[in-house]
């Protein structure tokens, strides 16, 4: 997929507000169809050009950014979530609202960056984790992930393979088999 450019954005903030309100239900549904709950603590939101364009527009609209340099900074930040050739990209959200629970869990999740996986017919795709934190630090609550699929994995995904995502960590483990409809949505997102 091609990265999002400044030409893809709605730079008129008033027009964006109208577009945001009109398209918000559609985008909520679009994102929900690409969200995988990983138990009670985490969720993966699979990303593509549509979600990245929406997010950048939202950021520049909410923050009233008009400076082209700052807009390009937002594009550079979020374009890493536009899948390239045989890639799937996702945002990992660690969602712990209770502060006491957050302080309890964060040290237990050190190394979670490397513990996430995506399996296609039982074969794991190569994960390129977020480089924001080292593997020895408590993880950030939001992380960007990229899985690189082999040509064979991409073809199997497109052909309706069984897909599982999950976490294989000493302190948090979960396997989530995806429905065929969700797997088909991911197949359509492969760059």
- Please tell me the predicted confidence (pLDDT) of residue 138: 80
Question: Is 65 in contact with 59 (CB distance < 8 Å)?
Answer: yes
Alpha carbon separation from 81 to 69, 71, 93 (Å, rounded): 20, 16, 14
Mean of the per-residue pLDDT values of the chain: 92
The answer to whether 81 and 144 have CB atoms below 8 angstroms apart is yes
Residue 131 has pLDDT above 70, yes or no: no
Residue 179 is predicted with a pLDDT of 93
User: Which segments of the chain belong to CATH 2.60.40?
Assistant: 37-47+83-191
* Tokens standing for residue 168: 């294989």
C-alpha 104/C-alpha 148 separation (Å) is: 32
Model confidence at 1, pLDDT cuts 50, 70, 90, reads: confident
The CATH code for residues 37-47+83-191 is: 2.60.40
Distance CA 123, CA 85 (A): 19
Q: Is the pLDDT of residue 120 over 60?
A: yes
Using a 10 angstrom Cβ sphere, with 0-12 exposed, 13-18 middle and 19 or more buried, the burial of residue 185 is middle
pLDDT band at 132 (very low <50, low <70, confident <90, very high): low
pLDDT in tens, 57-85: 999 988 989 999 999 999 999 999 999 99
The mean pLDDT value for 16-39 works out to 91
Strand 163-169 relative to strand 172-177, pairing: antiparallel
Q: Is the pLDDT of residue 150 over 90?
A: yes
Taking the model in full, what pTM does it have?
0.90
> What mean pLDDT is predicted for residues 159-173?
96
Q: How large is the average pLDDT for residues 35-53?
A: 95
Residue 11 has pLDDT above 60, yes or no: yes
Number of residues that this document lists for the chain: 191
Q: What is the mean pLDDT of residues 11-35?
A: 89
């Amino acid at each position: 997929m091609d990265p999002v450019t400044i030409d893809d954005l709605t730079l008129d903030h008033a027009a964006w507000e109208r577009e945001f309100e009109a398209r918000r239900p559609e985008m909520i549904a679009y994102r929900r169809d690409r969200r995988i709950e990983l138990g009670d603590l985490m969720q993966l939101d699979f990303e593509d050009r549509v979600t990245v364009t929406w997010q950048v527009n939202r950021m520049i609209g909410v923050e009233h950014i008009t400076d082209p340099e700052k807009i390009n900074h937002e594009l550079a930040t979020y374009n890493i979530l536009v899948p390239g050739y045989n890639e799937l990209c996702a945002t990992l959200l660690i969602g712990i609202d209770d502060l006491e629970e957050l302080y309890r869990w964060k040290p237990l999740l050190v190394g979670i960056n490397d513990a996430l996986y995506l399996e296609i017919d039982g074969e794991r795709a190569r994960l390129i984790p977020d480089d924001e934190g080292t593997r020895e630090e408590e993880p950030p609550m939001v992380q960007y992930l990229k899985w690189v699929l082999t040509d064979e994995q991409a073809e199997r995904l497109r052909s309706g393979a069984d897909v599982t995502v999950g976490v294989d960590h000493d302190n948090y483990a979960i396997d989530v088999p995806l429905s065929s409809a969700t797997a088909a949505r991911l197949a359509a997102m492969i760059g």
